Amino acid sequence: MKIEGRNAVAEALKAGGTIDRLVVEKGLKDANSQKIIDDAKSRGIKIFFRDKAALDRESVTKRHQGFIAEITDYVYSELEDILALAQQRNEPPFIIILDGVEDPHNLGSILRVAECAGVHGVIIPRHRSVSVNETVIKVSAGASAHIKVAKVTNINETIDELKQRGVWVYCADMDGKSVYDADLTGPLAIVVGGEGKGVGKRTRANCDEIVSLPMFGQINSLNASVATAVVVYERIRQSLKK
């Protein structure tokens, strides 16, 4: 798997990820580029300097910014790892569950939001979902190196387990209570649906409550990553008030 772009490569180095090979565009002299190169050298990573055309040919995203790192396949976490992180931080669990998000740009953006907002982890289904790939890593701007992502076989079984552990599970969908009237504090998991189809009926019915975002225009839904950001930061706003 390839990590492309300055931020993504820099964050992978910072997180201590296993980088097998780093390809750098020749002639980069700026301080940020040199820091990445120095960090890679200090870790004993093999660095190959190539001209821009060579990186263009190798790039998957075509937006490499002069840096392409090859890593072992993305290592997923387990639900237990996410809950353990919340306990380690002495915080109530705060989790995002994605039901059928298939656009890598959406997943990358959601991982970026989750990491910035201090979410303990993101859960995705093993099937009917995009995996963490090169595009996701690039769009996340390095967040994928820091946020825990668990891939589970059955979303509803995972929801049941979270509920048994005292985590409230809210579904972000249409026709629910306004998110601004819901109590989003305490142990919480937010389920966000995929592009077009939204949250599945069974999953929706399995959640403790449905919350929605007020809509005032002609379009009745937001992009999955935008909707996630709004709900996540409403949770933060409510928590900061307490």
- Tell me the whole-structure pTM to 2 decimals: 0.80
For residue 3, what pLDDT is reported?
Answer: 87
Is the CATH code 3.50.30.50 the one for domain 2-71? no
For residue 26, what pLDDT is reported?
Answer: 93
Count of CB atoms within 10 A of residue 185's CB?
16
Mean pLDDT of 52-56: 93
Query: What is the band of 2 on the pLDDT scale with cuts at 50, 70, 90?
Result: confident
Mean pLDDT of 184-194: 95
For residue 18, what pLDDT is reported?
Answer: 77
Query: What is the band of 172 on the pLDDT scale with cuts at 50, 70, 90?
Result: very high
- pLDDT at residue 83 is higher than 90: yes
Parallel, antiparallel, or unpaired: how do β-strands 67-71 and 47-50 relate? unpaired
* 147-170 pLDDT per residue, tens: 999 999 999 999 999 999 999 999
Mean pLDDT of 41-60: 92
Contact in structure between 79 and 27 (CB atoms under 8 Å):
no
For residue 19, what pLDDT is reported?
Answer: 86
Is the CATH code 3.40.50.300 the one for domain 79-241? no
Calpha distance 140→142 (Å, rounded)? 5
Domain ranges of the chain: 2-71, 79-241
For residue 208, what pLDDT is reported?
Answer: 95
For residue 220, what pLDDT is reported?
Answer: 75
For residue 221, what pLDDT is reported?
Answer: 76
Tell me which residue of 121, 150, 146, 119 sits closest to 235, measured CA to CA. 119
Q: How deeply is 90 buried, as exposed, middle or buried, from its count of CB atoms within 10 A (0-12, 13-18, 19+)?
A: exposed
